[in-house]
Structure formats: structure tokens, C-alpha cells
A and B are shown apart, each in its own frame.
Chain A
Amino acid sequence: MKEASRRSFIAAALVAGVGLSVPVAAQTVSGKLVLYTSQPERDASQTVAAFRRAQPGVDVDVFRSGTTEVMSKLAAEFAAGQPKADVLLLADAATMETLKKDGRLLPYPEAKVEGLAAGSYDKDRTYFGSKLITTGIAVNTAAKLRPTSWADLAKPEYKGQIAMPSPLYSGAAAIMLGTMTARPDLGWTFFEKLRADDAVAVRGNGAVLTAVANGEKSYGVLVDFMAFNAKAKGSPIDFIFPAEGLPAVTEPVAILKTTSNPAAARAFVDFILSTDGQKLAVSMGYIPARASVGMPSWYPAGAKINLMPTDIAAVVQTNARNLSRFAELFGN
């Protein structure tokens, strides 16, 4: 108890320090911090560089790869009894929920959550959503039809022209599957119709982008920032916000219980949730968790994106069943 309260005192002092001026905090936090992340390469290096500017005393080592690779590395490290990571920044809350259930995460009750979107962070304060990554419909600009809803995709006119990320290989897609099948207006019927339409499930969002931008498929189920970043560079691609709403993942940040540098780990969480950290996310093209810092340039001005609420606990619980049903449905 004493230890915990002392820690929280330091953390509180730290947060105050960050709030007042950067140099004060710089004196309090130092040492090495190991970050495992599934952010895209460019975003990961920008995030680390910005954190280093805020906390020059901390040396950051990064391991960046796909969520599956990061989690495999972690699982092996857990099994060998010596996890090396201090903080995680991973695509989806379901993964974090699994880690939390296994008792791997360190709660951070003093984290500054005021102003964050409701439900974007764990109620036990073990992981905190850093942004919102929505999934909508990407359309090749040469495509004949413009779907306006998910239900449109299930129509026969779209036969053979749809690509989506496979939930068997992508955690974010598994959340989408769990969210959409739980809804009465879509449910499994929607996926059965997609199957009848010969939709293909590819390995990840990167593969969906390539297929749609190349015109190999006209329509794709894709994350927002990838579509908009490609569009900004000139790819013939548009992004549609379906009427029923968009499932989203939150790319949460969390501290591992086994961290050897809890002070620096808390400072990292603070930075990600701070105004500066959130502005950085916006500049990379993401919807921030803290709405007050503004929206990315692609965000429809004045509009409000209709998000599909996700019950993470339910998704975690139904995940295995959903995946095997999906595998059966889309099997040969």
C-alpha cells in the first residue's frame, strides 16, 4: 500500500510537471523504455521522436511489427518468463483485454482521462485508447456504383468485387466481425450475403488497399486513415461512411506489470494522452481520443461520424466461436 501510494504521488507530481513545463518533468524521468507497437513504421518513429522531445532523459527502444508478430514475440517472452517490453501501443482493445485478463497489465489510476471520449479507456485504467481508427468502405474511383451503406455491399450488383481484411488473421477485423454480427440490422446474414457475393477476405488492411487502389477489386472494407493517406498521395480511391455506422478500434496504450521503469512508462502514457500527443495523432491523419485537439483534414467538416458501439468484453467472449463460424462460411 505504502509503495503504491508513494508511486502515485510521484506520478501525480509528474503529471503536474508535464502540465506546467517540460523541463521539470525531464529531470524526474530517465532511463530506458522499451516500446512494442503495431503502429505503421512512420507513425511509430514520429511518436517516439515527439516523446523524446518531451522527455529527453528517456531512451526509447522500439520493436515495431504487425499485431500478430508483436503478440507472438510477447507470448514467447511471457513463456520464457522475462518480458522485455515496458509499454505497448497496439491496434485493438480486445488484445489488451486478453492481456488484462491474464494479469499482465499495470493499472494507472491517475492517468489523465478527462476530456477523452467516453468508453475509449478501460474502466480499471489498465489501457487507454489513443485514437479512433474507423472501418468503412473504400471505393475505386472507376467503380460504377457508390454504396451508401453496409447493406448495399450485400446486394448482387457487387458480386465478385469486394475485398475485406480476414478476421482470422487481423485482430482489428475480428473486432469488426464481433461488432457487426452482434447487430440485428446486419448480423450473420450480412456475412452470408457477402459470401454469396464472392467477397474475398485477404490478410490485412494493406492488402485491401492494394487490391482496391489497383482496381483488382472495386470495393474494399478498409480503415479510414489508409484510404485517406493513399488518396492524398494520388491513389484513385474514395472512402465512404456507411449509414449504419462504422466499427472502430482505439489503438490503446498500456503498461506491462513487469516494467522495470514504471515512471518512464507512465510518462509515455501521459504523453500519448496529452494535448501534444493527441495533436500528433491528428497530424498523422487519425481521429484523436481527445476531441478538443481538432480533427484530421479528411474529416467531413461539421459532420459527426456515426460510430458503431463495440462491447469489448462480449467480443472477447464470442471471438473464438465467431472465427470458426467465419472460417466455415468462407471455406471452400
Chain B
Amino acid sequence: MTDAVRVRGRFEDYVLLWGLVLVVFVLSVCPLARLALEAIAPGGRLSAAALMRVLANSTTWTATGHSLVTALGGTLLAVVTGGTVALLVALTDVRGRNVLVFCFVVPLLLAPQVVALAWLQAFGPSSPLLKMLGLAPVLGSRNPLYSAEGIMLVLGVQYAPLMFLALRAGLRTLPQELIEAALSGGAAPLTVLRTIILPLMRPPLLAGIVLCFVSCLGNFGIPALLGIPGNYVVLPTLIYQRLSGLGPDALPDIAVLSTLIGVIAVAGIAAQDTLLVRRDFRIVTASAVARPFELRRGRVPVEIGLWALSVVVLVVPLLALILTSLVPAVGVPLGLRTATLDNYRFVLFEHAAAGRAFVNSFGMSAAAAVVIVLLAVALAYFLVWRPSRMLRVVQVVTEVPYAVPGVVLAIAAILLFLKPLPILGVSLYNTLWIIVFCYLARFLVLGLRPVIAGYRQLDRTLEEASQIAGARLLRRLRTVILPLVAPAAAAGALLIFLTAFNELTVSALLWSTGSETLGVVLFSFQQGGDSTYAAALGVLTVAVSIALMLSTLVMAPRLPPGVLPWRD
């Protein structure tokens, strides 16, 4: 390799690195910095009034406390359930694994507010399930889900798949040799789990924990449905309160409150990162592991437990959705005589926007997933293998747009893009592109976290070998690294797609005629009291998505192993 070639290679590396840093700056920093400007200088005049007003208000601190409590509780539940399921599915000989994985991933497709509503009904006095069991609470008793515990429970259920996907992708790289050695040395399975598997899985575990924490912190739909009735206010609902009681102070106030959420998220991330420092998690071979643990007599009980869990996370909300979609109006009891497909007919054939929304949401989510994963694979290369202080900052700022409520990011995007872009003179406002921009900014971390975890488990020798052989960085990324981190990248892409597909809070402010999203149409129906149309649309969304997920099985033989979580 001549010097000239080496210099050119290094130059290309720099261009790539700074290009990526620029992209993150535009996506993650620009919009929220523009909003923060409203906090400290509303209308262009510097003022600390908003800051003082918000920080001096006791509601702010109550909400902050509540946010911490529910986010930590929800995270704990999500991590324990998602993690346990991932370990059982990946390491033991339970049967029906693929179907179980499917059942556990699909709930991500259901909008959080839909899931929360289904759970509310399932536990309330009108619950068909509890009525059947004779356990229905008397009419007028308070629904137990209207509480901090209720919020934690539903948050935990909603986000357990995040943990599951992150850990399952990590477990793909578990080296068989180590476990076999330990087992043949007489170690009990739980000892192997504690001393070998969990320590090796620290990067994906921590990635999952952080994703769950940030997701719980920024969730609006669940505390809106379960917290508002008991006036249990968290930061995202407090922001919404400030917005609806609109006065001239609304924007500066929500900018300050959003900063508070950002600070909590960043603190959480910093705490977990200290746990990773100066540790080596590289795994020498990427051998796909066979199921090392036989459950023997425990298999049937474990299987029953897993199926019961999937009933709880998938069947309860989905069934509620299907039942609602079949009645002519809310509250009509479902029977042979009342059942109707009218809601489906309306959504499919009479409501032009529903079809358009489906195409828009599908296209934008898929585009966001692909672009983010490609960005993440390149960015993680520098973050993990060429770390620097600047890159630490880059990584942390990617978390913030996901932690703040969607409505805040949307307002920030309006402030940024209302006027045509400088130099180019084009305006993104009122086009699909402003929504795509927000999706890229918001969901970047969902792709980046799993990919970073994937890198941390990679041994760099392969990459170094190809470097010595003269392959340039882009080529190494494409031919060596991408196949190795493919399972993690695919898990990330899936997370992004599923999350963006039903997303509401960002697009609710940014859509315009022709650029409706599924979330917007669902919300419009719900708000107008047309829950039956909303349910029909929800069922169709899930059905089409499941069909799409199944169709990927056709391509499976040509993909690197582990890319599809629902296929061994």
C-alpha cells in the first residue's frame, strides 16, 4: 500500500466522519436548539422569565418526580419480561419459538393509546373477560389502572419488545464453545447464565434498558389515558396541559420543560455508560448458538407461561380492537345480529385519506428505517472503534429527540422549517419531507443503540485484516462489517419501522392534505367519537403488517443469519 493511497484513505475517513457528525447536528441539535432559543429569548429578546417561572412552579417538580417513578417502574417491568422471554426463546428448547417471537413483537404495532384503552376496558366494570369470570368490579368502582402502578404496568407491557429485540439480537452472537465448556465442567445452567451469558450480554442489555427508559420517559399516550383521570401528571402530559391552556408563554414554557426531559434522559444514559467503560465485551467468533439448555420437565410450565404472557401482551388489546371494529357504534353489544363489517367498508372504500395514510406511513417508516440503519452502521464504527470526547457528545445528543414528546419535536420542526431553507430556497413545510426529517431525528437512537451494541460484541480482527489487505473504509463497512452487525441492524430497523408506522404525536402537527399518516387518521376518528372506525383501521394495520412480516420469510434464505427475529 503506497503512502498516497493511505493518505487518500485517511482523507476519506475524515470526510465520512465529519459528514456523519454534520448529519447528527442537523437532525438532533438544530430543531431543539431552535426551540430552546424560544425559552431563553422569546421573540428575540433575552429573558430568564420562562426559566424562573417553570422552575419555581411546584407542578413542574411533581411531574418530574412522577416521570422518574413511572419511567423507572415501566423500564424495570419491560426489562424483566422482555429479557426473560429473550433468554428463554434464544437459549432453551421451548417449542413454537417463531410464533412466540411473532406474538411478542406485534404489540409494537399497536398505538400506545389503543393498548392503554384496551387494558382499561379489560380491567373495568364493562370488561367482557372479567364478566365471564365473575370478577368484574361493580359499576362505578374506580379502575385500578388509573394510577401510577397502572401507568407503569402498561408502559412495561408496551416496551418489553424493545428489550426483547435488543437482547435477542445480542444472543445471536453468543459463543457456543464457552457455554459448552462451562456446562461440561459441571456448572449449573443458572451459574452459566450469571457468570458467562449475562456478563457477555452487557452491551445489548444496557442498550435495551436505555431504550426502554427513554421510551417510557417520553411516552404521552399512556399517561394521557391513565394519568389524567387521577390528575397524576408527568412531564409529557404537563407539556400538553401548557399547550392547551394556550397563552403567550406556552412556547417558552414547553421549551423549558422539554429541556428538563432531555436532562433526565441524558443523565440516565450517562449512568449506564459508566457501567460499560473499560470493559471488553468482544466475542471471538460469531457462531450461531444451539439451544444449550434443555428444560426437560420444566418445558411445559415454561411454555404455558410464555403463551400466557403473549395472550396478555397481544391477545387482550388485539381482541378488544377486533370486537370494537365489528359493532356499529360504541357500546352496542356484539352479537350475530349486531355484528357488521360496515366500519371496514367505510375505512377501505369511502374514506380516501385512510388509504393514502397507509401508503404514506408505510413509505416514510420504511425509508426512515433504511436510512437510519445505514447511518447507524457508519456512525457506530467511529463511536465504538475510534472513540473521542466529541463522539461521546454526538452519541448523547442523538437520544434527546426521542426522549422529548413528539409534539415538542414537531413544534421545533415548524420553527425551523416554516421559512424556506436558506440558500436552497425550497420549503419543506407542509410536505412529506418535514415528517421524514422528524422521523429520522426522532428514531435515530432506535437504530443506533442496537448497532452500537452489535459492534461492542464484534472482534475487530476481521476488519483489520481487510484493512491491511487494502480495503477502504466504505468497502469494509459494506462487505465485512455490515454482514456481521446485520442481526443488530435488522433489529434496529424493525424497531424503527414498527414505531414510526403508528406514530401520532409528531405528525399530528405536521401533516397536510395529501400527507396524512395512519396515526393522524386514527386520532381524527377517535377524537370525533368514531372509535369503531379507528378500531377497524387499527385491525387492518396489524393485519397488513403481519402479512408483510410473513412475506419477509420468502427472502430469508438470502439474508445474513439472525436478521429476522421471527426466524431461527
Assess whether A320 is in contact with B512, with CB atoms less than 8 Å apart.
no
A202 within 8 Å of B by Cβ?
yes
Give 28 CB contacts A-B under 8 Å: A40-B530, A64-B524, A65-B509, A75-B243, A75-B411, A76-B251, A76-B414, A76-B418, A79-B43, A81-B418, A98-B247, A170-B244, A203-B228, A206-B527, A209-B529, A210-B330, A210-B529, A214-B330, A215-B125, A218-B139, A218-B140, A226-B528, A234-B328, A235-B331, A320-B245, A327-B231, A332-B230, A332-B231
Given contacts A161-B139, A200-B146, is CB(A215)–CB(B228) below 8 Å? no
A213 near B331 with CB under 8 A, answer yes
Among B230, B231, B240, B512, residue most surrounded by chain A Cβ atoms (within 10 Å): B231
Residues of A within 8 A of B224 (CB): 203
CB distance from A159 to the nearest CB of B (A): 7
Select B415's contact among A65, A79, A170, A229, beta carbons within 8 Å: A79
Name the A residues within 8 Å of B415 (CB-CB).
76, 79-80
Annotate B497-528 by CB proximity to A: 1 below 8 A, 0 otherwise: 00000000000110111000000100111111
Minimum distance in angstroms from B386 CB to a CB of chain A: 38
Would you call A298 an interface residue if the criterion is a C-beta within 8 Å of the partner chain's C-beta atoms? no
A65-B520, A79-B251, A79-B415 are known; give 10 further A-B pairs, CB within 8 A. Answer: A61-B430, A69-B407, A201-B231, A202-B228, A207-B225, A213-B330, A216-B120, A226-B528, A230-B529, A233-B329
* A206 and B224 alpha carbons, distance in the complex (Å): 13
Q: Taking the nearest CB of chain A, how far is it from the CB of B419, in angstroms?
A: 6
Chain B residue at minimal CB-CB distance from A226 = B529
CA distance A213 to B126 in the complex (A): 10
Q: Is the CB of B229 within 8 A of A202?
A: yes
Q: Which 6 A-B pairs have the closest CB atoms?
A: A213-B331, A40-B528, A233-B329, A160-B140, A200-B229, A76-B414
A236 within 8 A of B: yes
A84 at the interface (CB under 8 A from B): yes
CA distance A59 to B527 in the complex (A): 26
Q: Chain A interface mostly helix, strand, loop or mixed? A: mixed
Task: Report Cα–Cα, A202/B527, bound state, in Å.
Answer: 12
Pick from A40, A63, A82, A198: contact of B512, CB under 8 Å:
A63
Contact check: which of A63, A84, A174, A320 meets B247 at CB < 8 Å? A320
| Bound CA–CA A65/B224 (angstroms) | 17
Are B529 and A205 within 8 A (Cβ)?
yes
* Contact pick for B329, options A168, A171, A235, CB 8 Å: A235
Question: Which residues does chain B contribute within 8 Å of A135, judged by CB atoms?
Answer: none
Residues on B with beta carbons closer than 8 Å to the beta carbon of A114: none
Known: A210-B531, A214-B331. A61 touches B244 (CB 8 A): no
Are A160 and B332 in touch, CB under 8 angstroms?
Answer: no
Q: Do A69 and B509 have beta carbons less than 8 Å apart? A: yes
Contact (A71, B244) CB under 8 Å given A159-B140, A160-B141, A230-B529: yes
Q: How far, in whole Å, are A63 and B410 apart by their CA atoms in the complex?
A: 15
For residue A196, CB closer than 8 A to chain B, the reply is: no
- Within B391-431, the residues touching A (CB, 8 Å) are 407, 410-411, 414-415, 418-419, 429-430
Q: Does A77 contact B (CB under 8 A)?
A: yes
- Number of residues of chain B lying within 8 A (CB) of chain A: 64
Residue in A206, A207, A320, A330 whose beta carbon sits within 8 Å of that of B231 in the complex: A330
CB pair B328–A233 under 8 Å, yes or no, is: yes
Give the Cβ gap from A127 to chain B, nearest Cβ, in Å.
15
Docked-complex contact B328 and A80, CB < 8 angstroms: no
B248 within 8 A of A: yes
The reply to whether B232 and A332 contact each other, CB–CB distance below 8 Å, is: yes
Measured CB to CB, the nearest residue on chain A to B237 is A169
Whether the Cβ atoms of B509 and A230 lie closer than 8 Å is no
Complex Cα spacing A198 to B526, Å = 25
* Cα distance A170–B246 in the bound complex, in angstroms: 11
List A contacts of B430 (CB < 8 A).
61, 84
A237-B512 contact, Cβ under 8 Å, with A41-B525, A72-B243, A200-B230: no
Report chain A residues within 8 Å CB of B329: 213, 230, 233-235
Q: How far is B338's CA from A72's CA once the two chains are assembled, in angstroms? A: 41
With both chains docked as a complex, state the minimum distance between the C-beta of A150 and any C-beta of chain B, in angstroms: 19
Question: Within 8 Å of chain A (Cβ to Cβ): is B250?
Answer: yes
A30–B414 Cα gap in the complex (Å)?
28
Across the interface, do A73 and B225 meet the contact criterion of CB distance under 8 Å?
Answer: no
Contact among B126, B233, B241, B243 for A214, CB-based, below 8 A: B126
User: Is A293's beta carbon under 8 Å from chain B?
Assistant: no
Tell me if A67 counts as interface (CB < 8 A to partner B).
yes
- The number of chain A residues touching the other chain, given as a range, is 35 or more
Inter-chain CA distance A215–B331, complex, in Å, is 7
- A216 and B509 CA atoms in complex are apart in Å by 31
Q: Which of A82, A95, A206 contacts B246 (CB 8 A)?
A: A95
Is the Cβ of B243 less than 8 Å from the Cβ of A201?
no
Among B124, B251, B513, chain A packs the most CB atoms within 10 A around the CB of B513
Is B542 close to A, CB under 8 A? no
Given contacts A41-B528, A82-B419, A216-B120, contact A102 B248 (CB under 8 A): yes
Contact with A along B526-562 (1 / 0, CB 8 A): 1111110000000000000000000000000000000
Q: Inside 8 A of B60's CB, which chain A residues have their CB?
A: none
Q: In the complex, A72 Cα to B239 Cα: how many Å?
A: 11
Chain B residue at smallest Cβ distance from A200:
B229
A74 nearest CB neighbor, chain B only: B246
The docked-state distance in angstroms from the alpha carbon of A240 to that of B410 is 40
- Does B117 have its Cβ within 8 Å of any Cβ on chain A? yes
Chain B residues within an 8 Å CB radius of A327: 59, 231, 233
Judged by a CB distance under 8 angstroms, whether B45 is at the interface is no
A164 to chain B minimum Cβ distance, whole angstroms, is: 10
Give the residues in chain A near B529, CB-CB below 8 Å: 40, 205-206, 209-210, 226, 229-230
B414 with A80: CB separation less than 8 A: yes
**A259 at interface, CB cutoff 8 A:** no
Residue in A75, A102, A204, A235 with the greatest tally of chain B CB atoms within 10 Å: A75
Across the two chains, which residue of chain A brings its CB closest to B532? A233
Q: Decide if A42 is an interface residue (CB 8 Å cutoff).
A: yes
Q: A61-B512, A214-B126, A332-B230 are in contact. Are A76 and B225 (CB under 8 A)?
A: no
Question: CB-CB < 8 A to B120: which residues of A?
Answer: 216
Question: Which one, B140, B229, B526, contacts A201 given CB within 8 A?
Answer: B229
Q: Does A46 contact B (CB under 8 A)?
A: no
From residue B255, how far is it (CB to closest CB) to chain A in Å?
10
Q: Which of A41, A95, A215 has the most CB of B within 10 A?
A: A41
Give Cα A198 to B229, complex, Å. 10
Q: Does B142 contact A (CB under 8 A)?
A: yes
Using A209-B529, A216-B124 as known contacts, say yes or no to A169 and B240 having CB atoms under 8 A apart: yes
Cβ-defined contact, A216 with B330, below 8 A: no
A50 on interface, CB distance cutoff 8 Å: no
List of B residues within 8 angstroms of A215 by Cβ: 125-126, 139, 331
Bound-complex Cα distance A64 to B511 (A): 9
Tell me the minimal C-beta distance from B406 to chain A in angstroms: 11
Task: Establish whether residues A234 and B332, one from each chain, have CB atoms under 8 Å apart when the complex forms.
Answer: yes
In the bound complex, CA of A233 to CA of B229 (Å): 27
How distant is A281 from chain B, measured CB to nearest CB, in Å? 15
Most buried by A among B338, B512, B523, B529: B529
Q: Are A210 and B117 in contact (CB-based, < 8 A)?
A: yes
Considering only CB atoms, which chain B residue lies closest to A323 in the complex?
B245
- Contact check, B509 vs A236: say whether CB atoms are below 8 A apart: no
Q: Which residue of B lies closest to A159 (CB)?
A: B140
Of the candidates A42, A168, A233, which one forms a contact with B244 in the assembled complex, judged by CB atoms under 8 Å apart?
A168
List B138-154 residues whose CB lies under 8 Å from chain A.
139-143, 146
**CB-based nearest B residue for A60:** B513
Nearest B-chain residue to A215, judged by Cβ: B126
* Chain B residues within 8 Å of A198, by CB: 142
Residues of B within 8 A of A63 (CB): 511-512
Check A179 for interface membership: any CB of B closer than 8 A: no
Chain A residues closer than 8 Å to B241, beta-carbon distance = 168-169
Q: Separation in Å of the A87 CB from the closest CB of chain B?
A: 15
Point out the residues of chain A lying under 8 angstroms from B225, CB to CB: 202-203, 207
Q: Which residue of B lies closest to A63 (CB)?
A: B512
A331, B331: Cβ atoms closer than 8 Å: no
